[in-house]
Amino acid sequence: MNAMFREGADLAFSSTSSPARVIRCLGGGGQGQVFEVAFAGEPMAMKWYFPSCLQRDPGLRERLRNSIRTASPNASFLWPIVLLQPTPQCQAELRIPAGSFGYMMKLRPPEFVGAVDHGAGRLAISLRAVLRACFLLAEAFHALHSKGLCYKDISLGNLFLDPASGRILICDNDNVDVNGSALAGVKGTPGFMAPEVLLGRATPGTQSDLFSLAVLLFRLLTRHDPYRGRLELLIRCLDEPARLRLYGEDPVFIFSEDDGRNRPDPLEHPAPLLTWPIYPPPLQQLFQRSLGVGARQPSQRAYTGEWMKALARTLDQRRFCPHCRQEVFPEPGQPGQCWACGGSFPAGPRLLAPAAVVAAAPENELHRHHFDPLAAERIDAPLGRIVTHPSDRDLQGLENLTTHPWRLELRGGETLELPPGKRCNLATLGCVHTPLGRVTLERSGER
Residue spans of the domains in the chain: they are 9-106, 113-309, 349-442
Q: How far apart are CA 30 and CA 255, in angstroms?
A: 35
Same CATH topology for 9-106 and 113-309: the answer is no
Helix or strand (DSSP H, E) at 117:
helix 115-119
HSE (side-chain half, CA atoms, 13 Å) at 150: 23
| 103 within 8 A of 80, measured Cβ to Cβ | yes
Report the pLDDT value the prediction gives residue 446, as an integer from 0 to 100. Answer: 59
Q: What is the pLDDT of residue 147?
A: 95
Cα gap 30→11, rounded to integer Å: 22
**Are 361 and 344 in contact, with CB atoms under 8 Å apart?**
no
Residue 33's Cβ-count burial label (10 Å; 0-12, 13-18, 19+) is buried
Q: Would the pLDDT of 170 be above 80?
A: yes
Query: What pLDDT, in 10s, does the model give residues 249-299?
Result: 999 999 999 999 999 999 999 999 999 999 999 999 999 999 999 999 999
**pLDDT at residue 411 above 70?**
yes
Out of 60-64, 104-108, 213-217, 250-254, pick the least confident.
Answer: 60-64
Rounded mean pLDDT of 310-325?
A: 97
Give the pLDDT confidence score for residue 1 in this predicted structure. 63
116-126 pLDDT, tens digit per residue, is: 999 888 999 99
CATH of the structural domain 9-106, one choice from 3.40.190.10, 3.30.70.270, 3.30.200.20, 3.40.50.10470? 3.30.200.20
Task: Render the burial of 207-243: b for 16+ CB within 10 Å, e for the rest.
Answer: bbbbbbbbbbbbbbbbbbbbbbbbbbeeeeeeeeeeb
In this prediction the pTM is 0.95
pLDDT on residue 183: 59
Provide the pLDDT for residue 327: 97
Report percent pLDDT > 70 for the chain. Answer: 98
Q: What percentage of residues in the chain have a pLDDT greater than 90?
A: 81
Confidence of residue 29 (pLDDT cuts 50, 70, 90): confident
Tell me the C-alpha distance between 176 and 146, whole Å: 13
Structural contact between residues 211 and 315, judged by C-beta atoms closer than 8 angstroms:
no
- Cβ(276)–Cβ(218) under 8 Å? no
Residue 395 CA: distances (Å) to CA of 213, 318, 386, 398, 424: 39, 18, 11, 11, 11
- Greater confidence (39 vs 446) lies with 39
CATH number of 113-309: 1.10.510.10
Tell me the pLDDT band of 98, cut-offs 50, 70 and 90.
confident
Would you say 103 and 34 are in contact if contact means Cβ atoms under 8 Å apart? no
Q: Which residue has the higher pLDDT, 275 or 98?
A: 275
- Average pLDDT score over residue span 1-25: 90
DSSP annotation of 290 = I
Phi, psi of 343 (to 5 degrees): -70, 145
CB atoms within 10 A of CB 120: 11
**447 pLDDT more than 60:** no
pLDDT digits (tens, 9 = 90+) for 276-285: 999 999 999 9
Radius of gyration from C-alpha coordinates of the chain = 25
pLDDT band at 182 (very low <50, low <70, confident <90, very high): low
Mean pLDDT of the chain: 94
pLDDT at res. 434: 97
Position 148 pLDDT exceeds 60: yes
Give, in degrees to the nearest 5, the angle at Cα 403 between 398 and 405: 60
Beta bridge partners of 392: 389
Residue type, 421: G
Mean pLDDT of the region 219-227: 97
User: Binning pLDDT at 50, 70 and 90, where does residue 184 land?
Assistant: low
Would you call 112 exposed, middle or buried from its count of C-beta atoms within 10 A (0-12, 13-18, 19+)? middle
Among the residue ranges 25-34, 206-215, 292-301, 425-434, the one predicted with the least confidence is 25-34
Average pLDDT over residues 329-335: 87
Backbone angles phi, psi at 355, to 5 degrees: -130, 15
CA distance 288 to 301: 9
Cα–Cα nearest to 230, from 268, 257, 191, 192: 268
